[in-house]
Amino acid sequence: MNNNYKSHSISLLVNNKPGVLIRIALVFARRGYNIDSLVVSPAHDEHFSRMSITASGDKKTLEQIIKQLNKLVDVLHATDHTTEVVIEKELALIKVECSTEQRTEILQISEHFKCQTVDITEKTLMLQSTGNSDKLDALHTLLSKYSILEMVRTGKIIMARGDTST
């Protein structure tokens, strides 16, 4: 793999209007950049939305994408946080097939990863976990030896540390 090709964490503050998301996605698509995860949520002011995008590609292309995003009318600012110290979190819900004999072992794994048990039946266990992507990947790997029935992950949310604005 090319050393310049890596995952980037990008935040955007945008006007909360219909069509903004598609225009942003098209900027990435036109440059052949893959969006790995995308989270959109209301900002503290209801007129704006916050987007957190994780995308893979080379740095030079990303710089062009950031410039193009910042030129869009409804984008207040777009920032690449890849080299910055930011708080990144993700949430996962994982439903595991779970016999009575396996329950204690799965719950021990769950406890180690500070998961919450959000649903339990005779045959299944649903866990909720939050943390960075590496933590959730490790949890997924350990639970894979059991039968994972479903898994949903939110994608990363990003916030700059301290008094720096995201």
Specify whether 94 is located in the same domain as 50: no
Decide if 165 is inside a domain. no
Q: Which long-range contacts (CB under 8 A, 24 or more apart) does 61-64 make?
A: 61/31, 61/32, 61/33, 62/8, 62/10, 62/33, 64/31
Per-residue pLDDT of the chain (166 residues; tens, 9 = 90+): 455 677 889 999 999 999 999 999 999 999 888 899 999 999 999 999 999 999 988 889 999 999 999 999 999 999 999 888 889 999 999 999 999 999 999 999 999 999 999 999 999 999 999 999 999 999 999 999 999 999 999 989 999 888 888 8
Phi, psi of 129 (to 5 degrees): -135, 145
Decide if 164 is inside a domain. no
Sign of the CA dihedral with 26 first, then 32, 33, and 38 last: positive
Of 68, 84, 100, the residue that ends a domain is 84
CA separation for the pair 107, 115 (Å, rounded)? 9
Of 84, 103, 130, the residue that ends a domain is 84
Domain with residue 48: its CATH number is 3.30.70.260
Q: Containing domain of residue 15, as a range?
A: 5-84
Of 84, 103, 125, the residue that ends a domain is 84
